[in-house]
Structure 1
Amino acid sequence: MNLRSSWVAETGQTREDTRLNQIGATTPVNPVQVRSGILPGSYGGLHRLSGFWTEGTALMSVTVHEGRAVVQGDISQGVYPVALTSPVVLNVAPGTDQPRRDLLVIRIYDNLYDGQLRQEAKVEIIQGVPGSPDRPVAPPRSLQLYEIAVPANASAGTGGIPWNSALKDLRTPVVSIGGILPVEGEILPGGYPGQYQDTANNQLQRWDGGKWVAYPEAVGGIVPTSAGNIAGSYVGQYRDSNGLLQRWDGTAWKPAVPGPYFSDNSDFGDTASSTYTSTLGGRANNPFSLTFVAPPSKSVLVTFGSRIKSRNDLYGYMALRLTQGTTLIQDLDDEWAVIAASDNSVSASSTRRLSGLTPGASYTLTAFFRIVTNTAGVKAGFDNTFIRVDPQY
């Protein structure tokens, strides 16, 4: 086998062995030990991890492709670097009357610690227990590569192993101290605060001593769209949601700059009432209103209007009532109303500033309408009514 190792054999280590295994990849898990794993990299830079990639190449055999890795022993044993320079083919034992799960591993045999009179590194298959839903436990000084699901009675004569579904990838990557770890497979704890990893969804994360957190938390930056729909790390964190700036409020992402708010109704409606009413005859939807959230500045600009028709000597009025839930904040006032007197429809609008609002609270503006008192039965008509609220910052 072409699996080359360093500092295992008592004699016979070549200079070539040593050169191949000068990999410098040690991702720490404590002050003395490092994580066992495979060096990232692929031909053409297309994949995060291609070392020791395995495929079924015959009915009952697999081919393990080239790669480099480190295998950590017990705390006093050190780490073993290995390199496979050309593919190796392994045969899977035939199935029995019950299915089983085998384990493909890189295994270090070191007579100093296991007493097996062997000094070598091997790629091998650990056979599982028939009928057990679990794969076998990896031996000491070994690195898991793949789980192999072996069907009952599998053999070359019965169609072999269905390789498209039989292999479960267990490989994990390692990088040098200070390197950014590309995540493949299981997400493992960090070894020190300040360590970085690049997740499968292209999010950069930092180990804070207890958990992996999104990189923007550490620098106060904006979470990119590529991070996906993940929860925020702290109140006040910002993210780019496909071009829309949002802010995390502790439970949900909300627009960082809410508004403007706009509502309109193009149905014509009229009223003969000389006192304010929110119901217009002939209009399908009553009342007409708009709800908005007060900004941190506590102030908004409110613009509202309508096309109004009455009589050239009888004014029609449109005014707004401001409420917060069931609480009246500002009542109707002719002083702030939009008015017009005309035999024909004329457009009228007004803008005013509302201040002293409670930041983050929801308010509702509701439109009311009336016509001045008259004995002719003239109605005021309203069409294309609208309300717009622009938060001030």
Structure 2
Amino acid sequence: MTVRSAWLLPGGTAPGQTREDTRLAPVGTMTPAGELTTRQGIIPGGNPFAATGAGAMSLQVGIGRAAVQGTLAQGAYPVAVDAPEVVTFADGSAQFARIDTVCLRVYDGLFDTSGQTLARIEVVPGTASETPTAPALDPASLPLWDVRVPAGASAGVGGIDWSSALTDRRTYTVAVGGIVPRGALSDVGAYDGQYADVDGVLYRWSTAANQWTLYRPPAPAVEETTTGLTVTAGWALNSFRARRDGRAVSATVYVKRTGGALTANPNLEDVLLCTLPAGWRPPDDTEAIASDGWGSGAARVEADGQIYLRTWSPGMSIDTNANLRLTVGFIQ
């Protein structure tokens, strides 16, 4: 047996559900879609139900596991395909192309008119049309691949071009609380707080908004400090404040000149003002704005936290008792 389903066959033991059926079928994977329904889909892991051309008009569908939802009364069927299955397509129509759907189908004679009790991979043919669309599927059918069958396609004239004929219809499901991989924003979420990975971006289902909303992690707490700065001889600290919001750090240093006057001739270079506290320093050397209220200059903030006056307006001076304010911002 290559297509197995648990909780489908009657009898309990042979000819009903075997131990292998129970071990292989994903009986614990249930993401609710309603009070008594389950989100149907493929169980992630590897490349389940992969499709590869097996002949001019034949397709091989690989192994995999899935949960297939029937009607409300039926419930969900756990299914496992433990060996590749090959399906064959009818020749194309003479005039128009059509789209056939390869699906995982569960037949349950207690709920449908098939008279069968089995699961299988099958082809549901579409209607040839100038603008073909995929066919509608019966309950308890999980679409896997759409195949475009060109007009006139047959084994005798080259068949189906498998490099361009396939459209991936596989959807995924996980256990409740898990993140659904490769979801789509058009899918309807099952419950408030459900998560889905859409093209590598995390979304959260909002029942109130009835839509998927981009997940934004909680913003880190804003940190502030007014201590830890050390000033160099010849300067006194008026005030210091630093703020970290995420990785963005900004700091304001307000100092007073207590030593002799400093004159720019033409620049002030290597005048060490102060040192930022550990944890509040840039990863690389950066620039800062410096001003005494009358003229503006620049300062250099080094990775070790030391701040140096770098330039000043030629001829300007920083007199004794003059105040100097510096502002700096960087990403840690």
- Scaled by the length of structure 1, the TM-score of the pair is 0.55
Asked if the contact 1:303–1:349 (Cα under 8 Å) also holds between the matched residues in 2, the reply is: no
Would you say 1:84 and 2:76 are equivalent positions? no
Task: Work out whether residues 193 and 207 of structure 1, in 8 Å CA contact, stay in contact via their aligned partners in 2.
Answer: yes
Structure with greater helix share of residues: 1
1:211 aligns with 2:208: no
Q: Distance in 1 between matches of 2:151 and 2:112?
A: 33
Q: Could you tell me which residue of structure 2 aligns to residue 34 of structure 1? A: 38
Cα 1:349–1:206 change in 2 (3 A) is farther
Q: Does 2:149 match 1:145?
A: no
1:348 is matched with: 316
Instruction: Determine whether 1:74 maps to 2:79.
Output: no
In the alignment, structure 1 residue 64 sits paired with structure 2 residue 61: yes
Q: Tell me the equivalent position of 2:5.
A: 5
User: 2-side partners of 1:55 and 1:352: how far apart?
Assistant: 76
Deviation at 1:184, TM superposition (A): 4.5
What SS does the aligned partner of 1:163 have? Answer: coil
CA contact (8 A) 1:169 1:185 kept: no
**Runs of 5+ in structure 2 lacking a partner?**
222-243, 253-287, 297-311
Matched with 1:94 is: 91
1:330-369 Cα offsets, whole Å, 9 max, x none, are: xxxxxxxx98xxxxxx553779789xxxxxxxxxxxxxxx
Structure 1 contact 304–349 (Cα < 8 Å) conserved: no
Deviation at 1:213, TM superposition (A): 2.9
Instruction: Provide the rounded CA distance (Å) in 1 between the counterparts of 2:245 and 2:110.
Output: 55
Deviation by residue 1:203-243 (Cα, 9 ceiling, x = unmatched): 333223233333335x3359xxxxxxxxxxxxxxx998xxx
Q: 1:73 to 1:349 in 2, by over 3 A?
A: farther
Letter in 2 for 1:15: R
User: 1:368 maps to what in 2?
Assistant: none
CA distance in 2 between counterparts of 1:146 and 1:51 reads: 12
Q: 1:185 to 1:146 in 2, by over 3 A?
A: farther
The alpha carbon displacement at 1:122 in A equals 1.1
Alignment partner of 2:21 out of 4, 17, 22: 17
Which of the two has higher C-alpha Rg? Answer: 1
Work out whether residues 109 and 119 of structure 1, in 8 Å CA contact, stay in contact via their aligned partners in 2. Answer: yes
Could you say if the C-alpha distance between residues 159 and 220 of structure 1 is closer, same or farther in structure 2, counting changes exceeding 3 Å?
same
Deviation, structure 1 residue 389: 7.3
Q: Distance in 1 between matches of 2:245 and 2:92?
A: 52
The offset of 1:304, in angstroms, is 9.1
Query: Following superposition, which runs of at least 4 residues in structure 1 exceed 3 angstroms of deviation?
Result: 184-187, 256-259, 300-305, 346-354, 388-391
Mapped partners of 1:197, 1:349: distance in 2: 62
What's 1:117 paired with? 115
Residues 1:10 and 1:319: Cα distance change in structure 2 (over 3 Å) = closer
The one-letter amino acid of 2:8's match is V
Instruction: State the identity as a percent.
Output: 37
Quote the Cα distance in structure 2 between the aligned partners of 1:18 and 1:67: 15
Q: Residues 31 and 352 (structure 1 numbering): CA distance in 2 closer, same or farther, change over 3 Å?
A: farther
Separation in 1 of the partners of 2:220 and 2:133? 43
Aligned equivalents of 1:86 and 1:158: distance in 2?
Answer: 30
Residue 189 of structure 2 aligns with an amino acid whose one-letter code is: G
- Tell me the number of residue pairs that the alignment of Structure 1 and Structure 2 aligns: 246
**Distance (Å, rounded) in 2 between the aligned partners of 1:177 and 1:54:** 28
List runs of 5+ in structure 1 lacking aligned partners: 43-49, 223-237, 246-255, 260-299, 306-317, 321-337, 340-345, 355-387
> Taking structure 1 as reference, are residues 319 and 186 closer, same or farther at Cα in structure 2, changes over 3 Å only?
closer
